[in-house]
Each structure stands twice: as C-alpha cells, then as structure tokens.
Amino acid sequence: MAFLPLRPVELPPATLALYDEWLGRIEDRLDRADCDRNELCRDVLTELYHPQLAGSPAFEPGAGAGIALAQLDPRNVTLEPEYYSDIDAERFAQVKPLLWLWEMFDKSPSGENVHLGIRFRRVLARHVFRRCGRNFKCFQFVKFSFGYNMEVGNDVVVHRHVLLDDRGGIRIGDRTSVADYANIYSHTHDLADQRLVLTPVTVLGDGVRVTYHATVLAGTRLEHDSMLGALGLATRNVPPGMLALGIPATPKFAKPPLEERPILPRTSDPLADAGPG
C-alpha cells in the first residue's frame, strides 16, 4: 500500500481572513453568558441563505417569505428527539439551536466546503457535546439525537452521512474514526412494544475504526485498536486489536502486534485545530 498522508490545500489569504472573522464572531457570541442561541442560529442562517435580508425588518417570521423565513429560527421547528420521553428538556433547549444550525449549514452552499465546514462544526461541537477533544473533524450530514450525550476524545474523525444516536450516550476514544454511512446507536426497543426503551451507553475505544456502512448497536463496546468491517453489524463487544466482520459481526482476524507494524514518519494534519482543544 502507498503511504498517503493528507496534503495541505491553499486558499486565498483574503478568503482565509473572511472565514476567520466570521467564525470568530460566532465563537465570541457563543462564549458570552447572555448569548441567545436561538437568535444566533437565526442570524447565521439568514446570512447563509438570505444575506440580502440580514438585519432588515423583513427578517421576522411571517413577513415576506413567511414559512421559509420561519425555518431559520429553531423556535419555529420541532426535532424528532423532542418527542422522546427521556429527553432532558432544559439541556436540549441549550443545544437545539446549535444542532439546527449545524444541519442547516450542511445543507447550504457552504456545507461542502471542507476547510470552513470542519472548523465551523468544531466550534459548535464544543458547545453541544458533553466533551469534545482537540482536532475533532466532522464532515457533512452527520446526525445526532440529543447531542449533549456525546463524549469525544482527541483526533476523532467522523465522515459523511453518519448517524450518532447518543440518546443513551456515546463515548468515542482518541484517534477513532467513523466512516461514511455508519450508524452508532445507544437505544433499542422491546420486541413486542416499542414504547419500552433501553438506553445503554455505546463505547468506541481508542484507535477504533468503524468502516463504511457499518452499524454498532446499543450498549456495544468496540475495544481499543479494534475494527468493524464494511457493512458489519456489531451486536456484541469486539475485543482489542480484532477485526470483526459480517452480520452479526464476529471477530475474524487479529491486527499485527504493535512491534510488527510499519514505522511511518510523523506527518502534520492540514485540518488540525490551531486553537485550544
């Protein structure tokens, strides 16, 4: 196999300055004790979707575009987790505006911008998750349940179209990656009556890899350095250093011992967090 670390990608200095200024304004508002997150969400989405209306009286829901403008304010929408009986309504009220902002940013023209998108989601994650380590990288169209039950370590990567159902809690260790279209659950329903719900914590240990289209069911532990193969369905714990394959996933292969793995040079990450983690 070829050794292919990430390469740096240059942007015009004026563009970088524009992004820095915009992200800085958002982060400054979030850091203020009196920040109204609903208004923050509304203001940012107006800038992204209807910049000509930003700051104008026509911004208010019911004027002009009516329903379309109302969707910019999270107080005018409901999200599926709000209907769950086990929701902490007070905690969710704090993160809902940021989850809605996250999702609507991803659907905007800016959502496909890797440089801006990863930095933007990183800012929000620090105010949504129970814990968010340094260098968190999240690509577009990732869905959460509550958001506030996420615990994420350092150097974690979550790729596109991933479901992170943190209803019971998800803990992700350092240097773990979740590939495109994977699903991680932390709640399950009774066979006979779906109103009976179990919400165990799901754990992905340090250095775990969940690969394409794989699914981890509620309460499962993928121990450190383990891997769940493509399309795999993890219904039981995966031991350290093992590759689990199939439906249901079964440990099939052991990774080589650390001393037998190739020694590769350290490389920089062009998408790493320049600020405090």
pLDDT for residue 63: 42
Contact 116, 136 (CB under 8 A): no
Q: How many alpha carbons fall within 13 Å on the CB side of residue 133?
A: 14
84-120 pLDDT tens trace: 999 999 999 999 999 999 999 999 999 999 999 999 9
User: By CB neighbour count within 10 A (0-12 exposed, 13-18 middle, 19+ buried), where does 29 fall?
Assistant: middle
- The DSSP bridge pattern shows strands 183-184 and 163-164 to be parallel
- Mean pLDDT of all residues in 244-261: 94
User: By CB neighbour count within 10 A (0-12 exposed, 13-18 middle, 19+ buried), where does 32 fall?
Assistant: exposed
Neighbours of 165 (CB within 10 A): 22
pLDDT for residue 64: 41
Reported pTM: 0.88
One-letter amino acid of 83: Y
Residues of the chain with CATH 2.160.10.10: 129-254
188-213 pLDDT tens trace: 999 999 899 999 999 999 999 999 99
pLDDT surpassing 80 at residue 60: no
> How many residues are present in the chain?
277
131-180 pLDDT tens trace: 999 999 999 999 999 999 999 999 999 999 999 999 999 999 999 999 99
pLDDT for residue 68: 75
Looking at domain 129-254, its CATH superfamily turns out to be: Hexapeptide repeat proteins (2.160.10.10)
> Confidence class of residue 258 from pLDDT cuts 50, 70 and 90?
confident
> Confidence class of residue 67 from pLDDT cuts 50, 70 and 90?
low
pLDDT surpassing 70 at residue 277: no
- Mean pLDDT of all residues in 29-54: 91
- The DSSP bridge pattern shows strands 233-234 and 242-245 to be unpaired
